Amino acid sequence: MTDLEWIAADWGTTNVRAWAMSKDGDILAEATSADGMGTLAPDGFEDAFARLTADWTLADRCPVLICGMAGARQGWTEAPYAAVPTAPDVTPPTPVDTRSNRWKVRILPGLSQQTPPDVMRGEETQIAGFLTLHPQFDGTLILPGSHTKWVQVSAGEIVSFQTAMTGEIYAALSGHTVLRHSVGCDIDPDAFAEAVSDGLSRPEALAARAFQLRADDLLHGLDPARATGRLSGLLVGAELAHARPYWLGMQTALIGASKLSQTYASALESQGVTPVIERGDACTLAGLRAAFARWKD
């Protein structure tokens, strides 16, 4: 690994992923750990980073460029948000004070929006990467996750965005309410599709429909995959209703090829919308590469 020029990292809430990058932009090695931001105090990040990259041979002051929750207030060092509207590469990364001289760490800014108030950390780098892969894209990017982002992109700028915490709401309802007795892991696609339509047209029914799942199980032994499909579909349907200005008549792209992304793709397709799909890690790496090239010095 004498070729190692810099390290790219995506530091999320629950885990961290780093890539050893060559001068030519190739990936020499990759490392992941469960040392997410949520598990670390600010003074624990440097040790976690040292553990993560212990097998790699670094020259002194090796450049490290990080995106994600490491830049949150309770992260390694707070990297202030850039405000939308903005191009992805306008705000420089924030330098991090480190004890060791082995690395020169910087963290990329997240994005914020004043009205309605909204924030993201990490997704802005995927968006930047997507735009290096699709420079002419004009429309809506959808980044599914616990906190799904709907992002309006035009002329190379991030114009506005909207977060729906549907994924986290689903996890809270299926894990921490009486519904935990009735839902499972698999999703029945027909039940999901019906519920998307129901959630789109009757979003106000959520609290009643959710209890109906439980009652249907008690009275009729509802199949867990149908219960799961219904709960998920109701929530995604309501999210689609609220996000309508982001997808109706718009060019759309989904970032991420996870099961969750497929769920969103299938819900959008039921409304006649067929998004382009791009891999999430490809976007993250493209975004980190572009930021490294932009802020090299």
Chain residues that interact with its own copies, rule: CB under 8 A:
73, 81, 112-114, 116-119, 147, 162-166, 168-169, 171-173, 175-178, 200, 202-208, 210-212, 214-216, 218-220, 235, 238-239, 241-243
Task: State in angstroms the smallest separation of the CB of 236 from its own copies.
Answer: 9
Smaller CB separation from its own copies, 12 or 203: 203
Nearest to 157 by CA among 138, 143, 144: 138
Q: How is the beta sheet containing 94-95 ordered, strand by strand?
A: 27-33, 16-22, 4-11, 62-68, 103-107, 94-95
Q: In whole angstroms, how close is the CB of 72 to its own copies at the nearest point? A: 9
Rounded distance between C-alpha atoms, residue 176 and residue 167, angstroms: 14
* Closer residue to its own copies, CB minimum distance, 104 or 202: 202
Q: How far is the CB of 241 from its own copies (least distance, A)?
A: 4
Minimum separation from the CB atom of position 112 to its own copies (A): 6
Which residue number, 165 or 277, has a Cβ lying nearer to its own copies? 165
Cβ proximity to its own copies, 200 vs 225, nearer residue: 200
**87/218 with CB nearer its own copies:** 218
- The beta strand positions in 27-81, using DSSP E, are 27-33, 62-68
Are the beta carbons of 150 and 159 closer than 8 angstroms?
A: no
- Residue 44 C-beta: closest distance to its own copies, Å: 20
What is the C-alpha separation between 196 and 202, in angstroms, rounded? 10
CA distance 111 to 245: 21
Instruction: Say if CB 141 and CB 162 are below 8 A apart.
Output: no
Please give the order of strands across the beta sheet that includes 82-83: 82-83, 111-113, 118-120
**144 φ, ψ (degrees, to nearest 5):** -65, 145
Nearer to its own copies, 117 or 249 (CB): 117
CB of 240 to its own copies, least distance (A): 8
